[in-house]
A and B are shown apart, each in its own frame.
Chain A
């Protein structure tokens, strides 16, 4: 199905507002992405293209750049979120549970939500048997974390025309790939409705740092600008602000303080909830029913 067959256009101003508990204005949804980059293939992203621009295999410098995130960067995240008592959503390639068991265990022990994020980091279009991959990934996460994930994010948010149908068939309840609204929405699939949660390509260190090449400090500025706008709009209509980070990017020593500054800023305001995807989903299903 093309997107239009799954969901008609809807202007946000034409919908009844959603209301958060205790008149809260805004939910901050933090998503930490953990990936497995296969050294046998071209790297998912590069900080340093090879001289002359050729794609070289193996690409050790860029593999190592990503590996730094798992060895060092992610521990800065764990420390930050433990201090703030925030339990983010973990968007995790299932293979990470095997290859970086130590990291996955730390997230599980800290009570983070596990969200499916494919088996490893490659466009979902290139996966031979997508349904098998989805089920394998969810199965591994279920065995590792003790509960089956309710959420899914495609690698690089990629989907084929069938992906939402396959995800719904595998028991997934929400996806993050449809960054087309400030509110959760429901889309049609061959196996019943699927909820979209407003993940982000704006407050996301991949577009900001690796594609647009912004300075580290701009992360704080853009998040604060977004927060101020959504917080103001949240007086009338519940808003969700997603922040999407990767340990090899925002976990760098020169960037971590700009991430910390975002949470420092937000902490000065009343009426802000820090929820994970499963909590947003539960609230949305109930809030929508009350309308």
Chain B
């Protein structure tokens, strides 16, 4: 068992050497679109509607269908907004979803989005039968479709076992998004070589905001702008990373999409802000450090 504190030492952001971005840019924004497959034979990962008088009767068709809407309809709305702002996003994708939702994977590939592993299915990494096999199968599914090994990984629901970072490096992954503990990339020790942790977000994340905190749709825009303005100010001293996370079944609903689009438009108006993929952040961070 390796504790988090054994993987990295405490470090205050104000005491680190300055990180600088190319061409005088202050901040990097990366947009992560999560595409999942929900197994109708399992408990649904999230629900919008509880059954009358509670309980968890199976199968759970209404909540399965609510998620499926995102892939049939919502994703395509989201894609339009991302295209409009000329952004290459990151597709965090369940390995099984690539074949199941092939038109989505194809649209992402055609646009040069980065594919990162997001579990083979949308199942807690602590519950999958064989974690290494799951991680490997996910990489294979991405490689078979894109011709490239995935370099990044996001656990389903950001879940990890004590061993996850070790397994990821051994299976060829170079960065992980589960460690939401900083505004800058960090290095995590593993039993072989280190893996980079890139700042993902639980804050500007539609699952937390809409499904857990039950905010109005407009809060996505308000919070993204507030988050951005503070990070932009902080980044005057040293570069920072801001993540924006969306799921097609949440922000792809007709009443929510415009708030995601408005957030992109607001940030896109800044000339000294870069929209990068995870691997661009990784390559930059590695080059700065050496």
Contact = CB atoms under 8 A, between A and B. Distances in A.
A67 interface: no
B255 A9 contact: no
Contacts of A121: 52
Interface residues of B, number: 40
Interface stretch (B71-79, B118-126, B223-231, B270-278): B71-79
Contact of B49 (A4, A201, A203): A201
A181 B69 contact: yes
Contacts of B257: 229
A3 B73 contact: no
Contacts, number: 131
B207 to A, nearest CB: 14
Contacts of A41: 53
A202 B76 contact: no
A29 interface: no
Contacts of B218: 221
Interface stretch (A74-82, A153-161, A275-283): A153-161
B59 A201 contact: no
Given A2-B41, A123-B55, A11 B69 contact: no
B72 to A, nearest CB: 5
Interface in A129-168: 154-161, 163
Contacts of B101: 9, 11
Interface string B44-82: 000011111111011101101110110111011100000
Contacts of B62: 154, 156-159, 177, 179, 201
Contact of A221 (B72, B104, B216): B216
Nearest to B213: A212
Interface in A1-60: 2-4, 9-14, 41-45
B216 A179 contact: no
A156 B47 CA distance: 12
A214 interface: yes
A125 B66 contact: no
A133 B258 CA distance: 43
Contact of A125 (B40, B57, B103, B254): B57
A83 interface: no
B204 to A, nearest CB: 19
Contact of A9 (B41, B100, B254): B100
A218 interface: yes
Interface of A: 2-4, 9-14, 41-45, 121-123, 125-126, 154-161, 163, 177-182, 201-204, 206-207, 211-214, 218, 221-223, 225-226, 228-230, 233
Given A11-B76, A177-B61, A221-B216, 5 more contacts: A3-B65, A180-B69, A201-B66, A211-B49, A214-B214
Closest 6 CB pairs of A and B: A157-B62, A44-B52, A125-B57, A229-B254, A225-B255, A180-B65
10 contacts: A3-B65, A4-B40, A42-B54, A125-B57, A182-B254, A202-B48, A214-B216, A218-B216, A225-B255, A225-B258
